[in-house]
């Protein structure tokens, strides 16, 4: 069943752009061109040219974050593995970025800086989010200068337009360069229907990041973005800020409490413990956390225009890395690597205990083929590994004293030094994506508490033992 399109809001009047505030310098003005020449001579415009080639206009008034992210993803040559609209070409556009929030939600509310970082991570970028209250202006300037001198890292600012004398509220856009002579940054504003690119003093854009975002009740900031060596994880993470909070609560709050109160704790086996953990997570949630990504073949009935484009493109050249292979080859390569990952997971002791735990709880469905059951069990094992063991069975949990042998076996199951490299790589990437989602969910919960809204008990379960999560993740990332 096709979801009906949302009706578009009809406005009685319309607008054509806005005048540039006096505190900013229009990029195309004589002064703006002089600053561009100075910045070029200083070597601070290296990031500009690749960004300018992908300069886009956000597709919706609330899509400044999505438009900015599309611009950066295409600038850094990240392959979405999906077709752009109804063509044979793979290319990012705003409508593809719906993994952390639905597009309808984004249209209504926009996105926060944490959600922006989450979207970037889910789509194969390394995203380092810096809130303005947690970093100094000096560090901000150092990051501006460094990114302006290279073309493989992009700095995106999240700021309040009012501070710049502009109309509107929160906004995202990438920086295209830095002029040291005037201590100004070039903002490539993705709302091109409203403002052209402009030079802005560093002190002013810094001040514009400080006002609190009403959604999170925290300052905005900036995000450093580069290609992740592993790009996106092989399985697709199908969580939102709402569902990740549910999953975290089930595994890091409900499960440890239920386990500690088990009357037979001293006699439990690792299979019993895993059965308890899986019983805490609703079946429909557990089996939708991870799925195989869709890597489509080129459609044969794309239409005359698309066929002509495909013919004009000619045979795809080979760079020897496989990244520019024909689509069918790319899809087959993904399928082969995904299958390799599943086979590697099948060798893990954790996988075998998950199979036994699900069998003991009669979780397997008789009408599902054996290979479907194996895939479901392998993905469940990856879901469990995406939570560091310290977050679901804390070091001081009663299990360690009541059943030390069982506790030791379970901790060995989660030891990333004992798993194949392909599994370790995917777990590290999944933990990165999960942490980004947890941070976004945490911002929403804390803001709701500050506003006096209903946020359960007022505790953010998505950040349960967050320091230990980050420490464990940092160790795994460094090892990988």
Residues 10-22: pLDDT tens digits?
A: 777 889 999 999 9
User: What is the DSSP pairing of strand 170-179 with strand 235-237?
Assistant: unpaired
Strand-pairing partners, residue 130, are: 222
Q: Report the pLDDT averaged over residues 351-373.
A: 76
Averaging pLDDT over each range in 80-94, 147-161, 430-444, which range is the top one?
147-161
Q: Which position has the token pair 């926009």? A: 110
What are the start-end ranges of the H helices in 30-102? 30-42, 48-53, 64-75
Q: What was the pLDDT predicted at 450?
A: 64
pLDDT at 207: 98
- Give residue 236's pLDDT band: very low, low, confident or very high (50, 70, 90): confident
The CATH classification number of 25-227 equals 3.90.70.30
Q: How high is the pLDDT of residue 363?
A: 59
Query: What's residue 291's pLDDT?
Result: 84
Arithmetic mean of pLDDT over the chain: 84
C-alpha span between 62 and 67 (Å, rounded): 9
Whether 231 has a pLDDT exceeding 70, the answer reads no
Give the integer Cα–Cα distance in Å for 409 and 38: 62
33 contact partners, CB below 8 Å, separation of at least 6: 27
Q: Angle 329-295-228 (CA atoms, 0-180°, nearest 5)?
A: 90
When pLDDT is averaged across residues 151-174 and rounded to a whole number, the result is 97
| pLDDT tens digit sequence for 403-459 | 999 999 999 999 999 999 889 988 988 898 888 888 888 877 766 666 665 444 334
Query: How confident is the model at residue 329, as a pLDDT?
Result: 67
Per domain, the residue ranges of the chain are 25-227, 235-300+323-479
Rounded Cα distance between 348 and 270, Å, is: 14
Query: How far is CA 163 from its chain centroid?
Result: 28
The CA distance from 270 to 249, in Å, is: 21
Can 365 be counted among the known catalytic residues?
no
Instruction: Check whether 71 has a pLDDT greater than 50.
Output: yes
| Residue pointed to by tokens 């520019």 | 324
**CA–CA separation, 351 and 380 (whole Å):** 8
Distance CA 470, CA 480 (A): 15
Check whether 468 has a pLDDT greater than 90.
no
- Strands 290-292 and 235-237: what pairing? antiparallel
Instruction: Give mean pLDDT, residues 333-359.
Output: 92
The whole-number pLDDT of residue 26 equals 98
- Catalytic residue list contains 189: yes
Instruction: Choose the catalytic residue: 44, 130, 171, 249.
Output: 171
Label residues 333-371 b or e (16+ Cβ within 10 Å = b). Answer: ebeeebeebbebbeebebbbbbbbbbeeeebeeeeeeee
Closest CA to 209 of 136, 263, 264: 136
Residues in contact with 398: Cβ distance below 8 Å, sequence separation at least 6, in sequence order: 259, 260, 265
Q: Tell me the pLDDT band of 2, cut-offs 50, 70 and 90.
A: very low
Identify the bridge partners of residue 246 per DSSP, sorted by sequence position: none
Specify the pLDDT at position 393: 95
pLDDT of residue 376: 92
Least confident of 14-18, 61-65, 191-195, 463-467: 463-467
Note the pLDDT of residue 369.
57
User: What pLDDT, on a 0 to 100 scale, did the predictor assign at position 341?
Assistant: 93
39-53, 104-118, 267-281, 396-410: which range is least confident on average? 104-118
pLDDT mean over 15-30: 96
**H-assigned helices in 250-303:** 255-260, 270-279, 283-286
Question: Considering the chain, what percentage of its residues have pLDDT values greater than 90?
Answer: 56
What is the Cβ-side half-sphere exposure of residue 203, based on CA atoms within 13 angstroms? Answer: 3
Residue 83 DSSP class: B
Write out pLDDT tens, residues 364-415.
Answer: 544 455 668 899 999 999 999 999 999 999 999 999 999 999 999 999 999 9
Helix (H), strand (E) at residue 113: helix 113-122
- The arithmetic mean of pLDDT across residues 47-66, rounded, is 94
Q: How many CB atoms lie under 10 A from the CB of residue 48?
A: 23
Please give the pLDDT value at position 8: 62
- The predicted model scores a pTM of 0.70
For 27, other C-beta atoms within 10 Å of its C-beta total 21
Distance (Å, rounded) from C-alpha 14 to C-alpha 194? 12
Tokens of 276: 């308890």
Residue of 189, 353, 435, 443 marked catalytic: 189
The CA–CA distances, whole Å, from 205 to 6, 10, 72, 215, 391 equal 35, 33, 20, 20, 38
- When pLDDT is averaged across residues 473-479 and rounded to a whole number, the result is 39
Find residue 157's DSSP bridge partners: 173, 222
Handedness of CA 144, 146, 149, 154 (dihedral sign): negative
What average pLDDT score do residues 333-343 get? 88
- For 310-330, the pLDDT digits (tens) are 444 444 444 444 444 444 566
pLDDT at 202 over 90: yes
pLDDT at 284: 86
Active-site annotation holds for 413: no
């Amino acid at each position: 069943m096709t979801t009906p399109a949302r009706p578009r809001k009809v406005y009685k009047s319309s607008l054509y752009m806005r005048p540039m505030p006096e505190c900013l310098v229009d990029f195309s003005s004589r002064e703006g061109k002089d600053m561009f020449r100075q910045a070029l001579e200083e070597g601070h415009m290296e990031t500009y040219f690749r960004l300018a080639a992908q300069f886009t206009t956000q597709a919706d008034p609330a899509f400044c974050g999505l438009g900015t992210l599309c611009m950066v993803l295409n600038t850094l040559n990240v392959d979405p593995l999906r077709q752009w609209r109804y063509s044979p070409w793979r290319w990012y556009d705003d409508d593809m970025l719906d993994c952390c929030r639905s597009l309808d939600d984004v249209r209504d509310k926009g996105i926060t800086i944490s959600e922006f970082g989450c979207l970037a991570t889910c789509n194969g970028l390394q995203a380092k989010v810096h809130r303005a209250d947690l970093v100094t202006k000096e560090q901000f300037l150092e990051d501006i200068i460094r990114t302006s001198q290279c073309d493989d890292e992009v700095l995106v600012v999240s700021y309040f337009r009012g501070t710049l004398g502009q109309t509107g509220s929160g906004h995202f856009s990438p920086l295209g360069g830095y002029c040291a002579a005037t201590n100004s940054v070039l903002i490539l504003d993705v709302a091109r229907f409203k403002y052209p690119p402009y030079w802005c003093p560093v002190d002013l854009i810094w001040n514009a990041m400080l006002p609190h975002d009403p959604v999170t009740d925290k300052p905005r900031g900036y995000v450093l973005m580069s290609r992740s060596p592993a790009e996106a994880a092989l399985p697709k993470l199908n969580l939102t800020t709402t569902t990740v909070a549910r999953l975290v609560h089930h595994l890091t709050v409900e499960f440890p409490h239920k386990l500690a109160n088990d009357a037979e704790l001293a006699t439990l086996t690792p299979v019993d413990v895993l059965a308890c953990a899986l019983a805490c997570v609703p079946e429909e949630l557990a089996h939708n956390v991870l799925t195989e990504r869709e890597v489509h073949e080129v459609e044969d009935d794309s239409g005359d225009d698309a066929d002509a484009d495909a013919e004009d493109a000619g045979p795809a050249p080979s760079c020897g890395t496989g990244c520019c292979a024909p689509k069918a080859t790319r899809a087959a390569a993904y399928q082969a690597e995904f299958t390799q990952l599943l086979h590697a997971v099948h060798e893990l002791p954790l996988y075998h205990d998950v199979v036994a735990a699900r069998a003991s709880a009669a979780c397997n469905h008789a009408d599902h083929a054996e290979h479907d059951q194996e895939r479901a069990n392998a993905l469940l094992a990856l879901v469990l590994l995406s939570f560091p063991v310290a977050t679901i069975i804390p070091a001081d949990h009663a299990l360690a004293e009541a059943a030390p042998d069982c506790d030791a076996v379970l901790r060995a199951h989660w030891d990333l030094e004992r798993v194949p490299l392909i599994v370790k790589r995917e777990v590290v990437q999944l933990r990165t994506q999960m942490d980004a989602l947890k941070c976004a969910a945490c911002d929403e919960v804390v803001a709701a508490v500050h506003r006096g809204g209903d946020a359960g008990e007022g505790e953010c379960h998505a950040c349960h033992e967050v320091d230990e999560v980050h420490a464990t993740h940092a160790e795994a990332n460094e090892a990988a």
